[in-house]
Structure 1
């Protein structure tokens, strides 16, 4: 990490999925080292810059103590659909409201992109990796909207059930169903 700051270079984080390195990863820029720990670990603040595809992966880069390889940057098609974006915003507001995460919604920038919100949608690792591989903003938007339409009724029903359980003292120790 110190090398990134000293030389003002970016670094890549390949996806680790299903016990192996995936074909795609994210180019990162180190913004700040927030805290250095005595064991050498660091808390860092980063910014994602783009997506890359791994052409060659080396478990240890030549002359380094970390992995490396050869990558090619992937071009994303910026074909945003404003109507779908408005629908996503509407569904996000309902989701965050149901979960009591109003602050998260209020911090959503007006010009958000799918990558800005994908990590806050309750996607599992495989779904996030699939999202990383979609190279069109409008296709990612459609995927996000479909996901929100599927999970919103489940979240709403779960929250309704929790409220009912709170009102009835006989079920204080009831474990909610695992959807």
Structure 2
């Protein structure tokens, strides 16, 4: 399917089923959100990387306007729906302040993937959180979690999150997260060891002498 959607480019990655809260203050996006709410239509959030709009993004729906300010600014709640690919940007739309894009929707397999692999990913993320002293509880039981639910909590860069957005099978996304954690966990562990060494520096140390024949 190919269609035209209004777009709200941001320097973040949004995943399907993700809940995202936004504060809307620019006139063009106040217009965009008001029209989406009135006409019950969705808009796209393509990811901006290095000051350029990427070809991938996620279609989102407005689920709630939490607050409207006197100047027209809004706090809104949105939910990710599906990943799109931009075929053509439409920078100028008659009578509109915002831009749009002609997009299609690549086939995206959103099954459970491999549950044993997903559990290894969850174990790795929880170990990462333990090392970083981060408290995080997921909103679903482990056996219902998929890669999109946990990707933002795996310590990835925006570039890595965007790369995951372009993977079209759940098992590929799980493998991607696993490889990332295998790479990052030893680095964090070394940092923790270094922190402990730095803490000892400057303190009096009670060390036993070694019985060396020197």
Q: Scaled by the length of structure 1, what TM-score is found?
A: 0.83
Greater radius of gyration (CA): 2
Distance of 1:168 and 1:57 partners within structure 2: 56
Q: How far off is 1:10 after superposition? A: 1.1
Q: How far off is 1:40 after superposition? A: 4.0
Distance of 2:73 and 2:67 partners within structure 1: 9
- The unaligned stretches of length 5 or more in structure 1 are 171-179
- Counterpart of 1:174 in structure 2 is none
Superposed CA offset, 1:118-154 (max 9, x none): 1222222221211111111100100000001111111
Q: How far off is 1:83 after superposition? A: 1.3
| CA pair 84-59 structure 1, distance change in 2 beyond 3 A | same
Q: How far off is 1:3 after superposition? A: 1.9
- The unaligned stretches of length 5 or more in structure 2 are 1-32, 204-214
| CA pair 145-36 structure 1, distance change in 2 beyond 3 A | same
1:144 aligns with 2:177: yes
Distance of 2:80 and 2:41 partners within structure 1: 13
User: Which stretch shows the higher mean deviation, 137-146 or 5-14?
Assistant: 5-14
RMSD: 2.0
3-state DSSP of counterpart to 2:153: coil
- Counterpart of 1:64 in structure 2 is 96
Distance of 2:59 and 2:36 partners within structure 1: 12
Distance of 2:139 and 2:127 partners within structure 1: 14
Q: How far off is 1:116 after superposition? A: 1.7
Distance of 1:88 and 1:95 partners within structure 2: 11
Higher relative contact order (CA 8 A, sep 6+): 2
Q: How far off is 1:57 after superposition? A: 0.7
Contact 2:68/2:74, CA 8 A, preserved across alignment: yes
Q: Scaled by the length of structure 2, what TM-score is found?
A: 0.71
Q: Tell me the matched-pair count.
A: 168
- Counterpart of 2:7 in structure 1 is none
- Counterpart of 1:85 in structure 2 is 118
| CA pair 49-162 structure 1, distance change in 2 beyond 3 A | same
Alignment match of 2:138 (pick from 107, 113, 116): 107
3-state DSSP of counterpart to 1:74: coil
- Counterpart of 1:177 in structure 2 is none
Q: Choose between structure 1 and 2: higher helix proportion.
A: 1
Distance of 1:169 and 1:40 partners within structure 2: 57
Q: How far off is 1:58 after superposition? A: 1.0
